[in-house]
Amino acid sequence: MIRPTVDMMEALRLTRQGKLQEAMAVLRGGPAAAPSSRATDKASVIDMVPPSAANAGAWTVAQSAAKSTKAGRRDTASARSVLFDAFDYPKKADDRQAGGIRRHRAPKLAAGATFESRVFTNDAGARTYKLYVPSGYTGQPSPLVVMLHGCTQSPDDFAAGTGMNERAEEQMFLVAYPEQPKSANPSECWNWFDARDQQRGRGEPSLIAGITRSIMRDFSVERGRVYVTGLSAGGAAAAIMGATYPDLYAAIGVHSGLACGAARDLRTAFAAMRDGGAVKGPASEISRTTVPTIVFHGDRDTTVNPVNGDQVISRAMPQTSLQTNVVRGRATGGIRYVRTIRADDTGRSMLEHWSLEGVGHAWSGGSPNGSYTEPRGPDASREMIRFFFQHSLG
C-alpha cells in the first residue's frame, strides 16, 4: 500500500495552530486547510517541550501554555500524537483492536531458543528490551545484532515482521530489540530528530549502547562483531549509533531512515522527511571514522523521501576511493531493485544502497505477520546479515 504524498510542513503548521483534524487530513494525504489569519494563528499555537529529565521523559506543554482549559489540554495530548503520525504508516486491519490497542503477534520461537524481556538503566533513564538467544547457543562466542523498531512497533512485532530471529537460528547470532516507550515518545518513535539524542554518552544513544554492552557482559559476544540496524525512526537511530559509537558497532543498516544530523528539532524533522536533511553541526562532526553501511529504501516512499537513503550513504562515504558496481535485479516476489555497491581494493563491500522499485515505507522481504512489511521485495534481513558478517572491529 503506497501512501499519498504528504505535505509535512503544512501538517506541522496546522498542528502548532491546534488544528488537529486539518493536520490529520493532511497527514493522510488530503488537501491542506486554507491559511488562517495571523491573529487566529497566534491565539491557537501549541508550544511543545521535548522529553527531558526535567519533564520525566515526556512531551509537555511550554509554561506559556500551561494555563489552557481542560479542552485545550485534551487538544494538546492529541497534538502529541499528530506530531508523530507522519511515521504512523498504513496498517493492516488486524494491527489494532478496538480502542487502539495493538494486537502484535508474537514471533515463532524455535525449540530450545529463548526470547526474554530484560531492562537496562542508566543516568538517561531506563529501557526494556527483548533478547533472542538461538537454540544452538551454548556459550560459544557469537555475533550480536541490535534491532531498532519503527514508530508504533514493538519488539515482538518487529521480530515477526523482519524474520531476524529465524536468520539467527540459521546463522547463530544473538538479537536484541530495544523498546521505545510512550513515555519517551507518544508514537514510540526513537527521537532521532532531537539534538540531545544524537550525542555519545547522552540520551537515547547512551541507552542503546548501554543495552549492547550489557549483553556483551552477560553473554559470550564475539569480539568486534556487533551490529545495529533499524526501520524508519529506528533506521535513523541506527545511523546515529554508527556515527556516535563507531568503536562499538562494526557495521550498520538503515531501512527507510535518515542520516545522523538530518534534523535538530521537530521543524527540521518534517523538512528532512519531506525533502532530505542538511547534515551539519556537531552530529556530522562526531566521528570521521567510516562505519560500513547498508541502506534499503523504496523509491515510492512518501513518508521518508528516498533522497535520505542517498544521504545516509554520503554521510558514511570514506575519504579513500572505493570501486563502484551497480547491479539491477528482481526479487522472487517480483520487486525490481538497483543495488549500488562500493567496495574496497579487496572486493569487500563497504557501502551498499538498495533502491526498491515501486516500494513504499516498509521492510523489504518481511513477513505479513508483522507490520510495515513488503514481502515481495528482496530479503533485507538476509542481505543485512550477509553484509554485516563481512565486517569486524580490530
| Half-sphere exposure at residue 182, Cβ-oriented, CA atoms within 13 angstroms | 6
Residue 362 confidence (pLDDT) above 80: yes
- 3.30.470.20, 3.40.50.1820, 3.30.950.10, 3.40.50.300: CATH of 114-388: 3.40.50.1820
Average pLDDT of span 101-127: 85
Residue 5 confidence (pLDDT) above 90: no
**Residue 114 DSSP SS3:** strand
Q: Rounded to two decimals, what is the model's pTM?
A: 0.78
Query: Taking the C-alpha atoms of 180, 183, 186 and 189 in order, what is their torsion angle to the nearest 10 degrees?
Result: -20
Q: Where are the domains of the chain?
A: 8-87, 114-388
How does pLDDT run across 313-322, given as a tens digit for each residue?
A: 999 887 678 9
How does pLDDT run across 29-68, given as a tens digit for each residue?
A: 555 444 433 333 332 222 334 444 444 444 343 443 334 4
Tell me the angle at which helices 8-16 and 70-84 cross, rounded to the nearest 10 degrees.
170
How confident is the model at residue 329, as a pLDDT?
A: 98
Query: Whole-angstrom Cα distance, residue 330 to residue 309?
Result: 20
How many other CB atoms are found less than 10 A from the CB of residue 272?
Answer: 27
Average pLDDT of span 342-363: 96
Q: Quick one: DSSP state of residue 360?
A: -
How confident is the model at residue 321, as a pLDDT?
A: 85
Could you tell me the CA-to-CA distances from 250 to 9, 165, 285 in Å, in that order? 36, 20, 19
Q: What percent of the chain has pLDDT over 90?
A: 66
Could you tell me the CA-to-CA distances from 83 to 108, 232, 266 in Å, in that order? 34, 15, 8
On average, the pLDDT of the chain sits at 81
Band (107; pLDDT cuts 50, 70, 90): confident
Band (208; pLDDT cuts 50, 70, 90): very high
Band (289; pLDDT cuts 50, 70, 90): low
How far is residue 136 CA from its own chain's centroid? 29
How confident is the model at residue 60, as a pLDDT?
A: 40
The string over 86-108, giving b where at least 16 C-beta atoms fall within 10 Å of a residue's C-beta and e elsewhere, is bbbbeeeeebeeeeeebebbebe
Q: Quick one: DSSP state of residue 321?
A: -
How confident is the model at residue 280, as a pLDDT?
A: 58
